[in-house]
Amino acid sequence: MNAISPRHTASGRLFVGAALFVLSLCAGAQSPGGLPPQPDYKGEIRRGPDGKLFADPEPKIIETAPLVEAPPAVAPRVAPAAAAPAPAPSAAPQVKVPSKPMTLVVGRGERIATLTEAARQARDGDTIEIKPGEYRGQPAVWTQHDLTIRGVGKRPVMVADNVLAEDKGIWVVRGERIKIENIEFRGARASDMNGAGIRFDKGSLSVLRCAFFDNEMGILTANNAEMSLAVIDSEFGDSPKTSNDFHHQLYVGRIGRLILRGSRFTNGFYGHLVKSRARESQILYNMIVDGPQGHASYEIDLPNGGVVYLVGNIVGQGPESENPAIIAYGSEGLAWTQNAIYLAHNTLINDAPRANFLAIRSNRGPEAVEVWAINNLLVGSGDFNRPAHGRFEGNQTVARNVLIEQGGVPSRLPPQSPLRGSVRVPGQAGNFDLMPSAEFVFPAGTKPITAASRLSPGAFQ
């Protein structure tokens, strides 16, 4: 008979002892059916440091990999660390589900009657539809993202009525990708005399087919290079006739980019029609003409330089202009690393006794600014000096009375004009094509054009 090893003897004693311990815990009266009652669970059986058995009521759960005998030359595998207990269903994190975008209708007879209330209720991604009518003294601050605010039907009119949001503007915008369409803003007055139809403080904003009349500032922006503004097919006019401050119809601070397209500016007073300090300004196919009743200073002021593309515009000063320069660049010192202005196929009009069609100033010397002036049409007398650095070609001068008027503004060459077909293709400035692809349409907007085989100077082909 083979002898039993000490290891097997000890294991047998441990097994028998554990079994007796369990039986003792389960002993008791039987149930009426003859079966013993369900025992109370006392825990798992363990041996303590003193060698005695005990019931552990809260055992640790350890998951181990299947035991595999390793080859002698390979180190034994180590069981993985204990897994964290799975959280109870009630402790699961709550995931916030974004609300579905909604359309909020504002107007008389609707659940939301004022723009102030609409701005409080709107959420990211919503659309605000404004019924026709006059909305007086209803300031709004828009901080949502991906918001569309549009007038439905005839353009609704926001009248300041001596009430501004944050003493800044009829509307204050601080959101990403906000779009404002088909709305008119009137009468903004602020304590600092910078009351705006729209005060744009943060984010990105598109303004389409809107109108701004009789405001101290039509649109006024903050200074933040991360911001961008697009103004498309909109109208600006009738600056307040006060000489105690400068009221600009569009005043763009040191933002990253301005796109101004298909818009009309008229009847300024002391301030400029368009003023942009942006790093990049694309001014395309607009009518920026002060008119016979206007007293604007510069028609376009670009005081801090940057990269500027001026293509296909009609720009003109009236007889009562406060400053002889029509387009001014760098008048307050260059603030950007890159500084260039590209003028191609513009019609520049002077109705004042004297004019400087383009005034370039540089606090870094003349070589710091690249100037291209190509295929522009000059109407009336004035200076248009060759730049110190750049290209200067295809610019022509005509008398005012030989042009066809559009909206009371002489702008288009007659079909029989000898200047038709007299200029060459302007080429590209970097990746920007200076060939006009559209024309301004009165009172605001553009229409696409196809380049003619015989190219003409000015804003119209």
State residue 453's pLDDT score.
75
CA dist., res. 449 & res. 61, Å (int): 77
Give pLDDT tens digits for 406-441.
889 999 999 999 999 999 999 999 999 999 999 999
Q: Please, which residues bridge with residue 157 across strands? A: 134, 184
pLDDT-derived band of residue 20, with 50, 70 and 90 as boundaries? Answer: very low
State residue 22's pLDDT score.
37
Are 350 and 382 in contact by the 8 Å Cβ rule? The answer is yes
Q: What percent of the chain has pLDDT over 70?
A: 79
State residue 245's pLDDT score.
86
State residue 73's pLDDT score.
43
Could you tell me the strand order of the sheet in which 377-379 lies?
Answer: 134-136, 157-159, 184-186, 211-213, 235-237, 264-266, 287-289, 314-317, 347-350, 377-379, 396-398
DSSP single-letter state for residue 116 = H
Angle in degrees, CA 203, 205, 206, rounded to 5: 165
Q: Is 203 in a helix, a strand, or coil? A: strand
Closest by CA position to 387, among listed 419, 360, 409: 360
DSSP single-letter state for residue 262 = S
Q: What percent of the chain has pLDDT over 90?
A: 73
**Average of per-residue pLDDT across 270-284:** 97
pLDDT-derived band of residue 366, with 50, 70 and 90 as boundaries? Answer: confident
Residue 163: count other Cβ atoms within 10 Å of its Cβ: 15
CA dist., res. 376 & res. 217, Å (int): 30
With 80 as the cut, is the pLDDT of residue 90 above it? no
Pair of tokens at residue 395: 């610019």
State residue 435's pLDDT score.
96
CA dist., res. 278 & res. 230, Å (int): 12
CA dist., res. 358 & res. 202, Å (int): 32
Give pLDDT tens digits for 216-250.
999 999 999 999 999 999 999 999 998 778 999 99
Q: Where are the alpha helices (DSSP H) in 27-84?
A: none
DSSP single-letter state for residue 293 = T
Closest by CA position to 341, among listed 316, 305, 365: 305
Close Cβ partners of 80 (under 8 Å, ≥ 6 residues apart): 63, 64, 65
Q: Is 205 in a helix, a strand, or coil? A: strand
CA dist., res. 269 & res. 98, Å (int): 48
Closest by CA position to 193, among listed 173, 168, 171: 168
Pair of tokens at residue 166: 């944050």
CA dist., res. 396 & res. 445, Å (int): 26
Close Cβ partners of 374 (under 8 Å, ≥ 6 residues apart): 342, 343, 344, 345, 391, 392, 393, 394, 395, 423, 426, 427, 434
Are 27 and 42 in contact by the 8 Å Cβ rule? The answer is no
State residue 389's pLDDT score.
84
pLDDT-derived band of residue 99, with 50, 70 and 90 as boundaries? Answer: confident
State residue 95's pLDDT score.
60
Are 461 and 435 in contact by the 8 Å Cβ rule? The answer is no
With 70 as the cut, is the pLDDT of residue 88 above it? no
State residue 40's pLDDT score.
54
State residue 392's pLDDT score.
96
DSSP single-letter state for residue 220 = E
Residue 460: count other Cβ atoms within 10 Å of its Cβ: 20
Q: State the chain's mean pLDDT as an integer.
A: 85
Are 129 and 108 in contact by the 8 Å Cβ rule? The answer is no
With 90 as the cut, is the pLDDT of residue 454 above it? no
| Domains of the chain and any CATH numbers | 103-448 (2.160.20.10)
With 70 as the cut, is the pLDDT of residue 192 above it? yes
Give the residue with greater pLDDT, 120 vs 16: 120
Distances (CA, A) of 270 to 182, 193, 266, 267: 28, 13, 12, 10
Write down how long the chain is: 461
Give pLDDT tens digits for 297-318.
999 999 999 999 999 999 999 9
Distances (CA, A) of 205 to 89, 104, 114, 235, 418: 44, 20, 22, 17, 43
Are 374 and 401 in contact by the 8 Å Cβ rule? The answer is no
Give pLDDT tens digits for 166-187.
999 999 999 999 999 999 999 9
Which residue matches tokens 């290891």?
Answer: 7
Are 197 and 171 in contact by the 8 Å Cβ rule? The answer is yes
**Average of per-residue pLDDT across 247-257:** 98
Give pLDDT tens digits for 36-78.
454 454 554 555 555 555 555 544 433 333 333 334 444 433 4
Give pLDDT tens digits for 111-164.
999 999 999 999 999 999 999 999 999 999 999 999 999 999 999 999 999 999
